[in-house]
Amino acid sequence: MGTVAGAQQILAGLKDAGIDLVSSVPDINMLQLINLLYEDKQITHVPVGREEEGVGVCAGAHLGGKKPALLMQNGGLLNSCNGLTTTALQFGMPILLLIYYAGDIGDNAFHMVGLVTEPVLQGLGIKYIVMRDPAKVKQDIAGAVTLANSSKRPVALLLTRAVL
């Protein structure tokens, strides 16, 4: 489920980095964060049914002047690979990817998706940070957004339970 304190810290980090639109597909470990997004007045929250839709929503939002992020599980990263490749990367779109790292060390359900997550990001040429230190949450988010904006590419943050 994550903790309220962890979710609040991530939300504050997103706002500090200028993120003002988040498209999302849920994961149980991000429940608190998604609950905060539903209530938040500053960030436009755009739930979608499938993660690749979220890539499109973020791309369109960027073209319209928003600073977008896509919140999803790593299974959703796999669902969104063509959109990331032929829209986000091919057009050069800065999109922050907030990905719950299912199948990480200590997980007992989704080991296969955990196994392929980092190789898929590497194959796509998407830089990423595995977030394991709650003290570095704000810095990691700000750094990822700065790189996304300067490189005009998606940058990913892999969220582990330690920071949620």
Q: Which residues bind another protein (CB under 8 A)?
A: 13, 16-18, 21, 23, 44, 46-50, 52-68, 82-83, 86-87, 90-94, 138-139, 141-143, 145-146, 149
Q: Which is nearer to another protein, 42 or 90 (CB)?
A: 90
Q: Which is nearer to another protein, 90 or 108 (CB)?
A: 90
In angstroms, what is the minimal distance from the CB of 47 to another protein? 7
Q: Rounded CA gap, 139 and 129, in Å?
A: 11
Q: Which is nearer to another protein, 20 or 118 (CB)?
A: 20
In angstroms, what is the minimal distance from the CB of 87 to another protein? 5
In angstroms, what is the minimal distance from the CB of 27 to another protein? 18
In angstroms, how far apart are the furthest CA atoms of the chain? 41
3-state secondary structure of 18: coil
Q: Cβ(35)–Cβ(71) under 8 Å?
A: no
3-state secondary structure of 53: helix
Q: Rounded CA gap, 19 and 12, in Å?
A: 10
Q: Which is nearer to another protein, 68 or 103 (CB)?
A: 68
Q: Rounded CA gap, 153 and 145, in Å?
A: 10
